[in-house]
Chains A and B, each alone.
Chain A
Amino acid sequence: MGGFVPRPKTLGGDIPCLDSPELARKRQKALSAYAELRVERPLRAESNLETPVETQADGAPLFRISDLSAGYDKKVVVEGVDLEVREGDVVALIGPNGSGKSTILKTITRHLAPLAGAVELDGREISRWKTAEFARNLAVMLTDRPRTELLTCRDIVEAGRHPYTGRMGTLSPDDHSRVDEAMKTAHVEELAERDFMQISDGQRQRVMLARAIAQDPRVLVLDEPTSYLDIRYQIDLLRILRHLAKSRNVAVIMSIHELELAQKSADKVICVKDGRVFRAGAPEDIFTRETIGELYGLQHGTFNERFGSVEIGRPHGDAHTFVIAGAGTGSAVFRQLIRQGKAFYAGVLHEGDIDCELARDLAAECVAERAFEPIGDKTIARAKELLVHCARLIVCPAAFGTINARNAELVEFAQSHGIEVMRACEGASEDSQ
């Protein structure tokens, strides 16, 4: 046990913590400044004539769902849903297929009548809003894309101005400039004159987003906005949504399947499982191995909260390979072994090292030392215990450094016990047995 360098002192108390009330107050102040800006915008002011909108600085939620039951034809699909959404929040609904995410979204956008409970926008039950007024406050983007005929993308985006135009739907110069702005925000300006049916799915999705933006809503509801998009468009779309939330203070509520994207883009995550809200909270609290594993009933794969990604799980059987890795040198070898269906041990790694994170999900056992500490006796002993049963040892780092120097002992140990020792080649495309 001995031989550990004493842990360094903790940081001084005068450095504020990221979650401290002081910083939160500063952020709140910035938010209320945005809120005031919004009220000054002419069209918003007009819609305010009907419902006075107080600024959200005092923390009153813009959108509140309490004890909602939703479903079709009196058949309850989800129940007990509670959610508060503030201006500028990005809320992600995650959960398995058929868990009721879309049903919740359809209910809060008034496509379905709630079976019980309350949904309030600005403190007023949504069913009591006039349709046009509601449309000026809440826009949607649905999974099904319209099938149109001879309509340009600009025509589609202009449709978003519907709640603001007069009897015949003629657009004013202001409407036109808002359409231009929405198309610019969603990066679809160059598609303006293209036929909506003759562009790619990803482009169509962004045009539909531009349409929703042109509606100038305070709440934007999106049902699986990233489905069918390639990774570039997914990132593009989420960046646009974050931009809307942070610069225009729009509250974004979306259902999403891509966990890594949800983790990276949402301020708040709601997990829906089997018709109930299984868990809700900040992404840091939700995206843990346990919660995600339980939410999706993962039996083989595992979710890694650091990477925000899912591994397909470790193979069954005894391990006959030991991998010395560290500082990212091992990940390619780990994945290769997994693809070949071979169980393996990994060591000696340091906690927090990305190889260590990965090995926890993939290796039969990962021998790890505490972060920043040199490898101790107990750890090296455990590694040797495992190594004895192995037929080969793969060494990934080109050289050992100060804190993992004792891995060299493992190489010597292997050589003296007749265990095959090999280096991981660059690009690692080896393998025999």
Chain B
Amino acid sequence: MMKRDECFRILARHIKDEAVVATYSSAVDWVGVSPRPLNYLSIGAMGLDSSHGLGLALGRPDKRVVVLQGDGSLLMNLGSLVTIGAVAPKNLVHFVAHNETYEANGGHPIPNRKVDFATMARSAGYAATYDFSDLRMFEQQIAHVLEQGGPVFATLHVEPSGPLMYDYPSLYDPKKREAFKALWKS
């Protein structure tokens, strides 16, 4: 089992001008590791991270989009795997942090902790899928995961975090949306 923030620190070393979509606990960890204007955090409704990511990827096919979704969030929008698999954007990389809990809502377990998201993504039509539970393996393969033609899906098996500070006014600051848009459309 890995730690989510450790995975994100490794991921951050490979991120350049990609849009990074993140929400709730993943957003808190990601912003702690990599605060940057091309972070897209205003999701607005739990589960829609992957759908925002699809829209961003279609809007700028010349740029790469990385989605950092939680397992509880993806469970609320499992159909998005099928939609993304059908649309098949080559520039979308979709991670799910599988900590088996609704971490931002009290740490309660998801309905089935053993759900296999990578298999679901593969059958939904993703071009490549991965399942990481070893940090060294993740570090060895992350460059390839990010560079290949998508849509790519990767499950990160991580431990639940300790207490996190959810500063929603800062995460959802309208000025951050404006700054993101100015960079993303240019």
Whether both chains belong to one complex is answered with no
